[in-house]
């Protein structure tokens, strides 16, 4: 009973690996995004930026490297938000009623689903980084082996905290919904503004003032800042912008994700406490 979350976690991971179509598509889609969109757009942006002076002490990175961090964040966002559909299916098929009636603490259901979602996000992030390096993204360029290990762990720490926040949000919404179509509609509505009001694909410095403020507090922007700091470096030049990250700024972004995850867990805990499944 004390380890009920492990049962929920293991069950969801078995389902993930058994459904080959879901497994392959979830791993292949971000790679295709990076390959087709990244390579196509990088050739255009890199040509436009060619010849522009690079600030002293910074090194220029191509658009493929710049947007690679955004693709990792985008994949984590989609995986986390749509993980709640598992809860909705269990609810509609009667399995959630059995789980809620069991001695398993309701918090364990949330934690188990969150752990499986974080594991999937780790797998996808590692695959994207490896594939990105394979096709020319300058992730961990010039790093020593120790720095590479620290960089990968730093990226995964940010991915984990970001994923937890949106997994908890997804769980809270899913337990409150009745139809998969309604859940997908809500998730799609959430993903677009979160993704495009971030620095995933372009700098935010030229945004209107109001949108720039929203983007600065966007959890996805915080995640991308962390990924770029650990995977590219604290000082680089891309798309005509000089990016300089200090350890304090990166720590602040991480703490922002911790706060976001804590708020979303509170919301999920409240919804599961009130959930009545018939």
The pLDDT, as a whole number, for residue 225 is 94
pLDDT band at 13 (very low <50, low <70, confident <90, very high): confident
The pLDDT, as a whole number, for residue 253 is 95
Query: What's the token pair of residue 204?
Result: 């935010």
Of 21-30, 89-98, 119-128, minimum mean pLDDT range? 89-98
The pLDDT, as a whole number, for residue 163 is 93
Structure-model confidence comparison of residues 158 and 242, the more confident one: 158
Q: What number is the average pLDDT over the span 93-120? A: 70
Q: What is the pLDDT of residues 185-211, one digit of tens each?
A: 788 888 888 988 888 888 888 788 888
For residue 40, count other CB atoms closer than 10 A to its CB: 11
Do the Cβ atoms of 239 and 45 come closer than 8 Å? yes
pLDDT band at 1 (very low <50, low <70, confident <90, very high): very low
Q: What number is the average pLDDT over the span 234-253? A: 88
The pLDDT, as a whole number, for residue 107 is 67
Interatomic CA distance for residues 96 and 211, integer angstroms: 40
Q: Is the pLDDT of residue 2 over 60?
A: no
Kindly report the pTM of this predicted structure. 0.86
Q: Using the Cα atoms of residue 119, residue 83, residue 24 and residue 227 in order, give the sign of their dihedral.
A: negative
Q: Is the pLDDT of residue 96 over 70?
A: no
Q: What is the DSSP letter of 237?
A: E
Structure-model confidence comparison of residues 233 and 93, the more confident one: 233
Q: What number is the average pLDDT over the span 101-125? A: 77
Query: What's the token pair of residue 250?
Result: 């990166």
Interatomic CA distance for residues 44 and 49, integer angstroms: 9
Interatomic CA distance for residues 169 and 72, integer angstroms: 19
Structure-model confidence comparison of residues 152 and 15, the more confident one: 152
Q: What is the pLDDT of residues 129-154, one digit of tens each?
A: 998 898 888 899 889 999 999 999 99
Q: What number is the average pLDDT over the span 155-179? A: 88
Interatomic CA distance for residues 265 and 272, integer angstroms: 10
Of 22-26, 60-64, 235-239, minimum mean pLDDT range? 22-26
Give the phi and the psi of residue 238 in degrees, each rounded to 5: -150, 140
Interatomic CA distance for residues 24 and 2, integer angstroms: 33
Query: What's the token pair of residue 268?
Result: 């999920």
The pLDDT, as a whole number, for residue 249 is 93
Query: What's the token pair of residue 238?
Result: 């891309």
Interatomic CA distance for residues 148 and 160, integer angstroms: 18
Q: Is the pLDDT of residue 76 over 70?
A: yes
Q: What number is the average pLDDT over the span 222-241? A: 89
Interatomic CA distance for residues 264 and 114, integer angstroms: 11
Q: What number is the average pLDDT over the span 147-165? A: 95
Structure-model confidence comparison of residues 158 and 11, the more confident one: 158
Q: What number is the average pLDDT over the span 94-111? A: 64
């Amino acid at each position: 009973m004390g380890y009920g979350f492990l049962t929920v976690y293991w069950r969801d991971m078995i389902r993930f690996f058994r459904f080959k179509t879901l497994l392959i598509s979830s791993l292949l889609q971000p790679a295709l995004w990076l390959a087709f969109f990244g390579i196509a757009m990088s050739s255009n942006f890199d040509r436009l930026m060619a010849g522009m002076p690079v600030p002293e002490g910074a090194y220029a990175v191509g658009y493929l490297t710049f947007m690679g961090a955004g693709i990792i964040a985008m994949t984590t966002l989609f995986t986390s938000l749509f993980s709640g559909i598992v809860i909705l299916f269990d609810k509609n098929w009667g399995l959630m009623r059995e789980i809620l009636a069991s001695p398993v603490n309701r918090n364990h259901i949330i934690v188990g689903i969150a752990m499986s979602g974080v594991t999937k996000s780790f797998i996808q992030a590692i695959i994207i980084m490896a594939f990105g390096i394979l096709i020319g993204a300058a992730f961990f360029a010039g790093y020593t082996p120790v720095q590479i290990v620290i960089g990968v762990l730093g990226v995964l720490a940010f991915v984990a905290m970001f994923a937890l926040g949106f997994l908890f949000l997804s769980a809270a919404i899913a337990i409150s919904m009745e139809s998969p179509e309604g859940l997908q509609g809500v998730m799609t509505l959430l993903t677009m503004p979160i993704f495009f009001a971030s620095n995933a694909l372009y700098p935010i410095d030229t945004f209107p003032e109001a949108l720039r403020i929203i983007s600065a507090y966007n959890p996805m922007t915080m995640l991308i800042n962390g990924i770029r700091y650990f995977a590219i470096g604290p000082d680089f030049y891309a798309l005509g912008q000089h990016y300089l990250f200090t350890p304090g700024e990166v720590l602040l972004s991480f703490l922002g994700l911790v706060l976001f995850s804590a708020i979303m867990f509170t919301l999920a805990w409240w919804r599961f406490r009130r959930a009545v499944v018939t």
